[in-house]
Chains A and B, each alone.
Chain A
Amino acid sequence: MDYSIRAANVEDCKDISRMIMELAEYEKISEHVKITQRDLEQDGFSKNPFFHGIIAEVPEQHKTKDGHTKIGYALYFFSYSSWSGRAVFMEDLYVMPEFRGKGIGKALMSKVAQLGLAAGCHLLDFTVLDWNKSSLDFYHSQGCVDITANMGYHIMRCEGEALQHLAQP
């Protein structure tokens, strides 16, 4: 199947928002999604963006029954490791179910890797849920390592009232 991978632009935010919700449903956390199309426009496409996006698009003849041609995306941002320096973090990777198994997920991830290397990054980091076996297998097949399993890295978060309290001097 023909598809293209390209940088996201501000007009893609409606589709990115739709696909974020689809990914959240797949990961069983859709009630936690507070972000809107407007947030994405402001946060991804103004002067100092918090993230960057890439889109996988199919030609008109392969559009979904709802008329969508934008059928996958990845969101990433630059991060830093004090061990090895510049890194790229892939926050989301998603392909709509009927377009899976065609190499589109790998093509999106590959593009993030290319963009990272072009920016001088040595690492591509991301997260995966431990019950998501098909994703884990895919990532292992790409030579990714599980830093949580190997080194005991736990992801920690502070938010809401705890974050407000922590911010008090």
Chain B
Amino acid sequence: TMEYSIRAASVEDCKDIRRLIGELAEYEKVADEVTITQRDLERDGFSENPFFHCIIAEFYTAFPPHPTKKGYATYFYNYNTWCGRAIYMGDLYVMSEFRGKGIGRALMSKVAQLGRAAGCRQLNFTVMDWNKSARDFYLRQGCVDITANTGKHFMRCEGEALEHLAQP
């Protein structure tokens, strides 16, 4: 049997996190969009005021005994002006050969625990509407689809449009 543990990521994990990010982006069909580097992750996740936090699902093979990182979740704290403190799960990913073993749920559960410990009332995240297996998983956990229910759309401003908007 494969034993695993869920733990907080450390700066040394950034090489593996970047690899796992790339795999998730391939799965979501957006690999061309990923410009982030290992260096960005080290700076943005592990300095004094981090932009994100990360947890890792780490496996130990019986023989030879060495750890391998097969899943991750990223999260950060945010705010909802209806009910206050919230936790946002940016990414949730388990390598394909390790799915169906409850590891995804264990990672998400850890994010929920951390959020509640920090006084958060909501766990927010996004899912692509074509990703039926992910949507079904989330709905089984009692999550609700805010976009479907309320018509809330996720909007983005970037690149030249963002620079132009920032002009006074």
Contact = CB atoms under 8 A, between A and B. Distances in A.
A binds B: yes
Interface of A: 20, 23-24, 29, 32-35, 39, 43-44, 50-51, 75, 77-86, 89, 91-92, 107, 109-110, 113-114, 116-117, 122-131, 136, 139, 142-149, 151-159, 161-169
A156 B84 CA distance: 17
Given A50-B77, A129-B153, A35 B83 contact: yes
Contacts of A114: 166, 168
B153 A159 contact: no
Given A145-B157, A152-B130, A159-B123, 14 more contacts: A33-B81, A35-B81, A43-B84, A77-B77, A84-B36, A110-B165, A124-B157, A129-B151, A144-B157, A148-B153, A154-B145, A158-B141, A158-B142, A161-B142
A146 to B, nearest CB: 5
A115 B166 CA distance: 8
Contact of B144 (A44, A126, A151, A157): A157
Contacts of B116: 163-164, 167
B91 to A, nearest CB: 5
The contact size tier of chain B is 35 or more
A81 B157 CA distance: 13
Interface in B70-85: 74, 76-85
Among all A-B residue pairs, the 9 with the closest Cβ atoms = A162-B142, A143-B161, A152-B129, A130-B151, A80-B52, A113-B166, A148-B153, A51-B79, A167-B112
Given A129-B152, A151-B128, A51 B78 contact: yes
Nearest to B125: A156
Nearest to A166: B112
Nearest to B53: A80
Nearest to B91: A82
Interface centre among A33, A85, A146 (most CB of B within 10 A): A85
23 contacts: A32-B83, A79-B78, A80-B76, A82-B34, A82-B90, A85-B36, A86-B44, A125-B155, A127-B154, A128-B153, A144-B161, A147-B156, A152-B129, A152-B130, A154-B145, A154-B146, A155-B147, A157-B122, A159-B121, A163-B142, A166-B123, A167-B109, A167-B116
